[in-house]
Amino acid sequence: MAMITALGCKSNRPVANRLVAEAGPDQTVVVGQTVHLEGHGSSAAGGEPLRFQWTVLTVPAGSHAALTDAATATPSFVADQAGTYVVQLVVVAGGQASAPSIVRITAVPPPATVRNLFHTGTTPVTTYTLISLLTPQDTLPPRLPGVGLSEEPAVGANLLGSVLVFPKFDIRSGTSTHLRITDTSQGPRGGTSAFARLNFVCPGTKADPFCDVLDIDISFTYHRTVVIDVATELPPCDQGFIIAFAEDANGNPISYNHLTGSYHITSGTGPSARAEAANAIAIQSLQPAGTVLGAANANTGGLDLTFSTTSGADYAALPAALHSDFRAVTATSRTTLTLLTLNIISGADNPTARVNVHFWNTQEVPFSASHEFVCWDQVSLDQIDRHFTTVGLGTGNGALRITPSSNCPASRSCPPFFFYNAAVLGVLYETGSPVE
């Protein structure tokens, strides 16, 4: 027995003393980032050359991470999913192997990148919008605006307005959306300043074009911020958009350019948690403060609200075209376009909105496509056209222009039906690997 113990000491203790594997410190990276491992801290007491044996022990669900140059001191891999990656290093010298050394890499999702789509300067902003034209002769069903052409629209994410548009809400399982709406007007503390009506609008499809809507009313005091948990209001759908109109105590839309707001969407927990936040799109009224807006519509029994540069218009007109830069879609990043139409028929069947999409790569090579949706849609750019990928585009970034296209509500039936010209708003979201 003593002989066996002695032999064990001779064969094992020198290895433990001579060879030390060092896999480097734990790391935290962003999903899509290349992780560079560092094994140069490993050593052999006798100075023998080391051979490196790296092994990926665990990866997050859905990951296809694989080591590059796994037999060197500095291998790498792409963290393609959020979560924890566990990698082991063993060094070998003189026919002996070291004890393993473990390194853990935590990959976290990057925040959604939201950029201004009709900016004219270099001032940083937190949201940006795609906005299109509804012809001036068109008017709206109750509570929903028509649009005219404007060269300098009083519309944007960093303005105070009488109308706020929240392009997106999401209350699917594991996801929550909160709105914040602030009245910035001056007045005595606790005094009621104004009211607002919120329309929660649901998407339809070409097969089922019904767009359901929930309306709620809220009140403000001066300087008050109202926080709304969308799920507690029980909208009739899990995803869609929200539009808020300033009103007086009698429920009439009014000119009240004091509202600002934002929306906040969170999903997941732990390392895979993701958060989005952006300002609402504010639209200003052209009329004096407190003016009751809208014209009675005998056919609908409601009000027609006009968005135009013409005399007497209720609100500022929206720009006529949608312009932006964009990042091409890759295996580890995505650019998503959210589109919505303001001129919908709430709680009824709606016509299909059609937009033309023109885009160019950084070499000015042109591409074109089109997209159709009913009331609201969220779509990855590569689902609109395959040339929105880096392979199809040929470059990592490009320029984008979206314009609405007249669409007949019933095939070959215009006339007698009128062509539908959608009033479109939208937002681009970039997620995945860091911006190039």
Which is nearest to 283 in space by CA: 167, 428, 177? Answer: 167
The confidence score (pLDDT) of residue 300 equals: 56
Question: Phi and psi dihedrals of 251, rounded to 5?
Answer: 80, 15
Burial class (CB in 10 A: 0-12, 13-18, 19+), 388: buried
Q: Which residues contact 401 (CB under 8 A, 6 or more apart)?
A: 321, 322, 323, 357, 358, 359
How do 225-229 and 210-211 pair as beta strands?
unpaired
For residues 330 and 168, the answer to whether their CB atoms sit within 8 Å is no
For residues 42 and 50, the answer to whether their CB atoms sit within 8 Å is yes
Q: CATH for 15-108?
A: 2.60.40.10
Pseudo-torsion of CA 405, 410, 411, 412, nearest 10°? -100
Per-residue tokens: 145? 């605006």
Domain-by-domain residue ranges, the chain?
15-108, 130-432
- Residue 76: other Cβ atoms inside 10 A: 14
Strand, coil or helix: 323: strand
For the chain, 436 residues long, the average pLDDT of each consecutive 10-residue run is 29 57 89 88 88 94 90 92 91 91 84 32 28 29 30 63 94 95 82 86 93 92 92 96 93 92 86 79 90 78 73 77 86 89 82 92 95 95 96 94 80 66 82 61
Q: Count of residues for the chain?
A: 436
The confidence score (pLDDT) of residue 228 equals: 96
Task: Name the DSSP letter for residue 166.
Answer: E
Give the residue carrying structure tokens 């097969």. 207
Strand, coil or helix: 262: strand
